[in-house]
Structure 1
Amino acid sequence: MKASDVMTAKVISVAPDATLGDMIKLMLQHRISGLPVVTKEGKLVGVITEGDCLRRAETGTEVKRSFWRDLLTGSETLASEYIQSHGRKVSEVMSRDPITVDPDTDLSEVIHLMEKNRIKRVPVVKNGAVVGIVSRANLLQTLSGLVGGAKVEQSDAEIRQGVNAALANLPWAANEFLNVTVKNGVVDLWGCYTAYRQDEAAIVAAENVPGVKKVQSHLSWVDPMSGMVVYSPDENAPVAGA
């Protein structure tokens, strides 16, 4: 998937010379937490978010330091913090040089940029103009559609084949110790696992196979050093040393 597949095309933006009050009204009116800052010519010059308004003099939340720490802090930092907490225009408070993507950027790259830079939205720019925005909400909406997809009818044999194929793609999951049985779409996992959460990974892999209605685990935890069963779900209790 690409950025263009999930982005919001109707972008609500704010001008750099707009007041902070105007920006806040826009956010509250449209129930959004960030806005691209766009000039009259359509050029993107920044992004302003709720986070840019956390440290404000009006609420008494501006950065405060002791007298001695102020002396040790650079003048540029002090000036920037003052502007951030006292600025009245969007251009004074916004984050400059925003990270952007183009409509054809792969969705995995968009998410990588959001994670790496700890941001919640990325403007989508084409030929210098903002054509959309991808936010965490867009990603969640897309995921909702995919997770809630149509049910697929598969035979038990096809499901078993699918589960075995899914487990084969997890070489770290000790799948050579697993056996799969299927009846009426219900998958039963038998065998053992040798490391923490390998059993959960196997269950998740099975749950993602089309046609699976339910997954039941009968997997036992075996200590790889001793070869002894440490936990057996069918006995519903640890059996260390058994």
Structure 2
Amino acid sequence: MKVSDVMTRNAISVQPQTSVVDAARIMLANHVSGLPVLDQAGALVGVVTEGDLLRRAEIGTEGEQAGWLKALLQPAAVAEDYVLTHSRHVSGVMTHSPIFVTPETELTEVAHTMLRKRIKRMPVLENQKLIGVVSRADLLKALTSKLIQTDENVSDDTILAYIKAEIEKAKWAPKSGLRVAVKDKVVTLEGTIFSDEERRAVNTIAENAPGVKEVKDELVFVDPGSGLAFPATA
């Protein structure tokens, strides 16, 4: 899937001269965690988020003031920190040069970037113009729509072939001693496994097979140390 499939269009934005209090009110009123910042020409120049407003002098969360030595050796950094915690305008607290995506960006890339950079939403640009925003909530909506999709026309043979193929591809999966049966779209798993992690992973493969209605776990756990066997679900 691509960004264009899930993004929120007509995104609300603010300008650098917008007051911090107005930006906070807009976020609260629209239930969003961040806002794109556009200049007068409509170009993206930043993003202001809840995180940018966490350290504020007004609520006593600005942290400890820099000591005299840091102020002496790094006066620019101390001054910048003061602006971030005291500025009354978005221009003073926003994140400059924000990461953005295009409508054609794949959702896998969006998800990886959000996780790696620890961000919740990203502006969507087309021809250098803001056309929307994609957020973690949008990705969850896409996930939900995929999870509830069912295919009633899948045969038992197709389900069995899918599960066997996935087990074969999985490097961790036991390749012997595992039996899979499918009848009326109900999967029965039998055989031996050597860890609870293997059991849960094999069950997950079966659950994800298109058309499956139920998975019966009759696997047996064998303790490699003692050689004793137990029902895996016990």
TM-score normalised by structure 1 residue count: 0.88
Q: Secondary structure of the equivalent of 1:119? A: coil
- After superposition, the CA RMSD in angstroms is 2.1
Quickly say closer, same or farther: Cα 1:106–1:136, change in 2 above 3 A: same
How far has the Cα of 1:150 moved from its partner?
Answer: 3.4
Matches within 5 A, 1:41-120: 41-65=41-65, 67=67, 74-120=74-120
How far has the Cα of 1:113 moved from its partner?
Answer: 1.3
What amino acid is aligned across from residue 231 of structure 1 in structure 2?
F
1:23 and 2:23 are equivalent in the alignment: yes
In 2, distance between residues paired with 1:112 and 1:90? 28
What amino acid is aligned across from residue 2 of structure 2 in structure 1?
K
In 2, distance between residues paired with 1:121 and 1:90? 17
How far has the Cα of 1:70 moved from its partner?
Answer: 5.2
How far has the Cα of 1:196 moved from its partner?
Answer: 4.5
* Aligned residue in 1 for 2:4: 4
Gap runs ≥5 in structure 1: 237-242
The superposition leaves residues 119-163 of structure 1 with CA deviations (integer Å, 9 ceiling, x where unpaired) of: 111111122111111100100111111111134233333322222
1:154 and 2:154 are equivalent in the alignment: yes
In 1, distance between residues paired with 2:98 and 2:186? 49
Q: Secondary structure of the equivalent of 2:200? A: helix
In 1, distance between residues paired with 2:31 and 2:73? 37
Q: 2:150·2:210 contact (CA, 8 Å) conserved in 1?
A: no
Sequence identity percentage: 42
1:32 and 2:32 are equivalent in the alignment: yes
In 2, distance between residues paired with 1:126 and 1:153? 40
In 1, distance between residues paired with 2:73 and 2:212? 60
How far has the Cα of 1:93 moved from its partner?
Answer: 0.6
What amino acid is aligned across from residue 59 of structure 1 in structure 2?
I
Quickly say closer, same or farther: Cα 1:233–1:117, change in 2 above 3 A: closer
In 2, distance between residues paired with 1:28 and 1:106? 29
